[in-house]
Amino acid sequence: MEGRIRGQLLKGTTTLLVLTVLRDGELYGYEIAQRIRERSGGAFVPSEGSLYPALHSLEAAGALEASWQASDRGPRRRYYKITKTGLGMLREHSQEWATFSLGMARAVGGADQ
Amino acid sequence: MEGRIRGQLLKGTTTLLVLTVLRDGELYGYEIAQRIRERSGGAFVPSEGSLYPALHSLEAAGALEASWQASDRGPRRRYYKITKTGLGMLREHSQEWATFSLGMARAVGGADQ
DNA sequence: TGCCGCTACATCGATATGTGATATACGGTA
DNA sequence: TACCGTATATCACATATCGATGTAGCGGCA
């Protein structure tokens, strides 16, 4: 659980990460951020400034459906559910990531250091 | 086959890719781009608009040393050589990439399911 | 001779998106 | 009362990539 990743490397991964955690079920924003942190072993902690715009963008693109729901304690929550369109987008982004990480593995090697 | 990777995913990788190909020897800019394309299996083709600023930045940071050399045919070339500082930076960026890709592997799984 | 294409370096504006700060608001607790 | 954790939202700012454009040298070809 060393330091978390910051800066440029994370660019473009938020969509993939969000769609991935939502594949397993409906979640609200704050919870999505926690799941991503947990699943990445603490490496990724999406900031609100990147997470909420990404959620709105995905909803506008038809990849997510959202609904407000009251919480028994604390503020109301906006729950997000992945759509069929979102599942297609998830496949595309997964494939793109696979190509990208394979290219990096070839270029910089998995070995050395 | 599949297209090359473009856009946001590449952010932050240019430094690592450049330092990696220069670890094996002195190269000039145009050649660096070709090596990266070859080593990544065609997945990455750094544009001039990202490559040259990155080279200048690395030189200013003391990671690279550069010198003009004439070419027997074609325009003169600017050769870049990695320094001790650059090797240290390469280790850091390699480590950061390892942490990042491990986090992604944990978070999104090995590939598309 | 003139044009084209490849090599080679360089810079610019447009674009995307992450970070940290700030705001609002609810409920528990010290 | 003050603070903290939860929860959503937006903003200014920084950064780095892309595509376009500009420059030049050189060889091939009509």
Residue range(s) defining the domain that contains residue B65: 7-100
Residues on chain A bordering chain B, Cβ-to-Cβ distance under 8 angstroms: 2-3, 5, 7-13, 16-17, 20-21, 36, 39-41, 43-44, 91, 94-104, 106-109, 112-113
The DSSP-derived string for B17-48 is HHHHHHTTS-EEHHHHHHHHHHHTTTS----H
pTM to 2 decimal places: 0.90
Say which residue, A72 or B75, is predicted with more confidence: B75
CATH number of the domain residue A76 falls in: 1.10.10.10
pLDDT digits (tens, 9 = 90+) for B6-33: 789 999 999 999 999 999 999 999 999 9
Cβ(A82)–Cβ(A23) below 8 Å: yes
Average pLDDT over residues B46-56: 96
Query: Would you say residue B96 lies in a domain?
Result: yes
Query: Would you say residue B2 lies in a domain?
Result: no
Query: Would you say residue B53 lies in a domain?
Result: yes
User: What 3-state DSSP class applies to B81?
Assistant: strand
Query: Would you say residue B113 lies in a domain?
Result: no
Tell me, what's the pLDDT at A113? 42
Query: Would you say residue A108 lies in a domain?
Result: no
CB atoms within 10 A of CB B27: 19
Q: Is the pLDDT of residue A6 over 80?
A: no
pLDDT digits (tens, 9 = 90+) for B70-89: 988 889 999 999 999 999 99
Query: Is A16 in contact with B100 (Cβ distance < 8 A)?
Result: no
Nearest to A98 among B11, B36, B112 (CB): B112
The nearest alpha carbon in chain A to B88 belongs to A113
pLDDT > 70 in chain B, percent: 93
CB atoms within 10 A of CB B95: 12
The nearest alpha carbon in chain B to A94 belongs to B112
Say which residue, A112 or A81, is predicted with more confidence: A81
Tell me, what's the pLDDT at B3? 62
Total domain count, chain A: 1
Kindly give, in sequence order, each residue whose CB lies less than 8 Å from that of residue B70, ignoring residues fewer than 6 positions away: B76, B77
Protein residues bordering strand C (Cβ below 7 A): A 5-7, 10-15, 46-50, 53-54, 57, 73-75; B 7-8, 28-31, 48-49, 52-53, 55-56, 71, 74-79
Question: What's the mean per-residue pLDDT of chain A?
Answer: 91
Q: Torsion over CA of B51, B56, B60 and B61, rounded to 10 degrees?
A: 0
Query: Would you say residue A113 lies in a domain?
Result: no
Say which residue, A4 or A87, is predicted with more confidence: A87
Query: Would you say residue B25 lies in a domain?
Result: yes
Query: Would you say residue B83 lies in a domain?
Result: yes
Q: Is the pLDDT of residue A91 over 60?
A: yes
Tell me, what's the pLDDT at A55? 97
pLDDT-derived band at B111, boundaries 50, 70, 90: very low
Does residue A75 lie within 7 Å of nucleic acid chain D, judged by its CB? yes
